[in-house]
Amino acid sequence: MENIQINILEICSLKQAVTELKKIDCDPAGVKLMQDKAVFKIIKIEKMKCKAANILKQTFLGKGGDVAVSGHSADLSKEYTSVLIMATLKQYKQALIQLKMQPWGLKQIGEKIENILKNVNTLPKRIYSWKDRQLVLDGEISLVMGILNLTPDSFSDGGSYNELDTAIRHVEKMQADGADIIDIGAESTRPYDGGQKISAAEEMDRLLPFLQKILPHCSVPVSIDTYKAEVAEAALAMGAHIINDIWGLQQDVLMSSVVAKYDVPVIVMHNKTEISYPMGVMADIQQFLSRSIAIGIEKGIKGENIIIDPGIGFAKTVEDNIEIMGHLDQFQNLGCPILLGASRKKFIGHVLELPVNERLEGTIAASALGKIKGVQIHRVHDVKAVKRTLMMMDAMIRSEI
């Protein structure tokens, strides 16, 4: 008896469940039968009609799960309640079959839950191919996007790389340090004040001569940080590979059409002109990004070409940014790869009480947490340090080298 070991396992995915079942030499048929029982998920639904919530609760109770509702739900003294569903994947599957036959919007709620569970159980896998290079998002190997600012006024490194030779050397160094993507921006979009706005013509004057010279030095895909369709089209025509739109296709109505025309990946970021979140910051971001995805698909962008970015630091307080970091995994609901741009941001400086050039450790911590929360692309200034951190995180999470 003294040799018996008892441990608690935190199983968050079907893949992990299968791994643990196989480790104990479970019969293959048993693995297939029990993997859904080993994964427990809690889903929160806001502002649900109480009469529908009561049916939801009874449905899950009948399958061995449960639903927490407000105290006024049972007697219908109020119209709405928020709910917490607590169940294994097996119980969800059984309950969802029944929900599809229920009234009061429960069919639609069931369909949304089904879609969310499908998205969160497997990180999106994408292979983006161009004539001379490829980018693989497999959910296991984290990708690092190195930042090249051709601007005089960026918040972190403004003016550092607006000479051609310096910019090329920086691109070559970032690739040597392990960058999987190079992101080039020619207009400052500083999160805290938006930076100095410039015209599309001025942005192209800054960007295109550099891009033409930089592309031959890049063996990895090049992303263009712009929200202007005219700039995006000129860059893509020159040979750029990805568009990174800080306004999520919602600033320039022509941007979606340009991205669709060139059939390239696009990063859609959450942004606002003011800090105001009546629904809460997480709900606002999900709603905004859902709209960005819908706009893109409506204009012909392939769903698999859309990558989402919650927009850390853009129209958000320090508290907002901390909340977002703690709940990054919720954006998996949208079914798109997640990019995180937390590098050297102001919230790190606030927590650590450090200036922008001393925020490396905070950036590394943010990327490490992002990896755990499902982030697949990390946009950073300090490529080598973050790349090494993520290689270690990837190996530990996979439990292999």
Q: What is the pLDDT of residues 177-212, one digit of tens each?
A: 999 999 999 998 766 555 678 999 999 999 999 999
User: Taking 70 as the threshold, does the pLDDT of residue 13 lie above it?
Assistant: yes
Residue 336: closest CA among 108, 115, 36: 115
% of the chain exceeding 70 in pLDDT: 95
Say whether 197 is catalytic: no
Mean pLDDT of 67-87: 94
Whole-number Å distance between alpha carbons of 364 and 367: 5
User: Taking 80 as the threshold, does the pLDDT of residue 86 lie above it?
Assistant: yes
Q: Per residue in 357-373, pLDDT tens?
A: 999 999 999 999 999 99
The model scores a pTM over 0.85: yes
Whole-number Å distance between alpha carbons of 95 and 162: 58
| pLDDT at residue 197 in the model | 85
Q: Which of 63, 90, 228, 345 is catalytic?
A: 345
Say whether 228 is catalytic: no
Whole-number Å distance between alpha carbons of 289 and 295: 10
Whole-number Å distance between alpha carbons of 139 and 136: 9
Q: Which of 41, 206, 228, 379 is catalytic?
A: 379
Whole-number Å distance between alpha carbons of 256 and 336: 17
Q: Per residue in 22-44, pLDDT tens?
A: 999 999 999 999 999 999 999 99
Q: Exposed, middle or buried by CB within 10 Å (0-12, 13-18, 19+), for 23? A: exposed
| pLDDT at residue 269 in the model | 99
Structural domains for the chain: 39-119 (3.30.1370), 126-400 (3.20.20.20)
236 pLDDT tier (thresholds 50, 70, 90): very high
Residue 92: closest CA among 108, 105, 111: 111
The span from the first CA to the last CA of the chain, in angstroms, equals 34
Tell me the backbone φ, ψ of residue 89, rounded to 5 degrees. -60, -35
User: Taking 50 as the threshold, does the pLDDT of residue 382 lie above it?
Assistant: yes
| pLDDT at residue 158 in the model | 47
Q: Per residue in 299-316, pLDDT tens?
A: 999 999 999 999 999 999
Whole-number Å distance between alpha carbons of 165 and 55: 67
